[in-house]
């Protein structure tokens, strides 16, 4: 379904490592930022790397049948209300995207209610809501195909429009429950190990959420070796589209900053859709959700920052974006020892 993923340029990676050693600083003095700048250079295939000037955020929105199980502090109707807020500019993702000069795109994949949003937002909509995955499939075979095709098409559109770094955001009551199911299915973790506090739930709600994940896992385990079947059985249209978006971005050799638990759960599936895709992703932050930490470990990704966040929407990735942009510019624009006329000890 996806073309093979080529890794970032290894020769450019080595050139970037060599360049860091020639810049006016002690070896390794910029810590993890040096790794980030090196990764961007390798993704771009050029050293010094080009500055990041066209970041793009795509928020995938959808409702989830498990939201009716009492597993969130918010009612299921809040998804549609938040969608309208995002479109009109009042969400955290709107503020953070504007602060970064990042273009923002909202995609309604499966919001249950009809909303007064532009047709472009609903262009790829697959259905109204998704099945309650503790008792039924999230999608039909045709719906999961449409969602995957949508995610791939959206990635192609953004890359063709000239973006130089992508961020996937999420919106949907109950999506942290679906993410926990996917992570448990793909890592072998127990339900109690993947369920966090999500929207800020109390102990009684947490127990209900664990029970939903436990029941859903009984269905997910049978199909976990088949990523499309897993998306159909245990995900949702928005998360299926997000997984395809992440996979296709890697196929198109475009770096992606992963956000939190939902995005990284989709990334676990994307890595199975397009093996090697993880090389094109940077973990922007570590959220407080235990499923996020398990997914990052499975992908072998080290988060750039840890601000105890669990908000979603792409917010953590947008907060990390300036660090990525600065690391890129330092690698490209700092003076070398030779240019400064300084004799290096190396």
CA distance 181 to 223: 12
CA distance 117 to 283: 31
CA distance 228 to 231: 5
Q: Exposed/middle/buried for 64, CB within 10 Å: 0-12, 13-18, 19+?
A: buried
Q: What are phi and psi of 110, to 5 degrees?
A: -165, 40
Catalytic residue among 158, 271, 313, 339: 313
CA distance 190 to 210: 9
Contact call for residues 313 and 92 (beta carbons, < 8 A) = yes
Active site residue 313: yes
Bridge partner list, 268: none
Give the number of other CB atoms < 10 A from CB of residue 276.
14
Q: Which residues are catalytic?
A: 313
């Amino acid at each position: 379904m996806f073309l093979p993923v080529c890794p970032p340029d290894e020769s450019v990676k080595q050139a970037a490592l060599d360049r860091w050693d020639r810049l006016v600083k002690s070896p390794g003095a910029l810590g993890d930022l040096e790794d980030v700048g090196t990764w961007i250079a390798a993704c771009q295939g050029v050293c010094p790397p080009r500055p990041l000037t066209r970041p793009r955020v795509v928020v995938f929105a959808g409702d989830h049948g498990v939201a009716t199980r009492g597993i969130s502090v918010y009612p299921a109707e809040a998804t549609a209300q938040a969608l309208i807020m995002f479109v009109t500019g009042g969400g955290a993702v709107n503020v953070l995207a504007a602060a970064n000069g990042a273009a923002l795109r909202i995609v309604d994949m499966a919001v249950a209610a009809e909303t007064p949003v532009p047709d472009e937002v609903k262009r790829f909509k697959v259905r109204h809501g998704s099945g309650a995955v503790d008792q039924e499939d999230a999608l039909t075979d045709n719906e999961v195909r449409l969602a995957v095709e949508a995610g791939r098409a959206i990635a192609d559109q953004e890359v063709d429009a000239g973006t130089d770094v992508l961020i996937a955001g999420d919106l949907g009551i109950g999506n942290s429950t679906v993410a926990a199911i996917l992570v448990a299915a793909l890592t072998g973790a127990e339900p109690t190990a993947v369920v966090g506090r999500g929207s800020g739930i109390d102990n009684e709600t947490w127990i209900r959420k664990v029970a939903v994940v436990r029941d859903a896992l009984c269905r997910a385990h049978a199909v976990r070796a088949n990523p499309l079947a897993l998306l159909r059985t245990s995900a949702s249209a928005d998360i299926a589209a997000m997984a395809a978006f992440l996979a296709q971005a890697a196929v198109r050799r475009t770096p992606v900053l992963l956000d939190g638990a939902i995005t990284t759960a989709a990334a676990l599936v994307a890595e199975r859709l397009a093996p090697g895709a993880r090389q094109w992703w940077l973990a922007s932050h570590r959220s407080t959700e235990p499923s996020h930490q398990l997914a990052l470990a499975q992908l072998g990704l080290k988060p750039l920052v840890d601000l105890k966040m669990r908000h979603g929407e792409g917010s953590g990735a947008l907060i990390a974006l300036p660090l990525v942009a600065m690391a890129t510019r330092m690698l490209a624009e700092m003076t070398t020892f030779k240019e400064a006329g300084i004799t290096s000890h190396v």
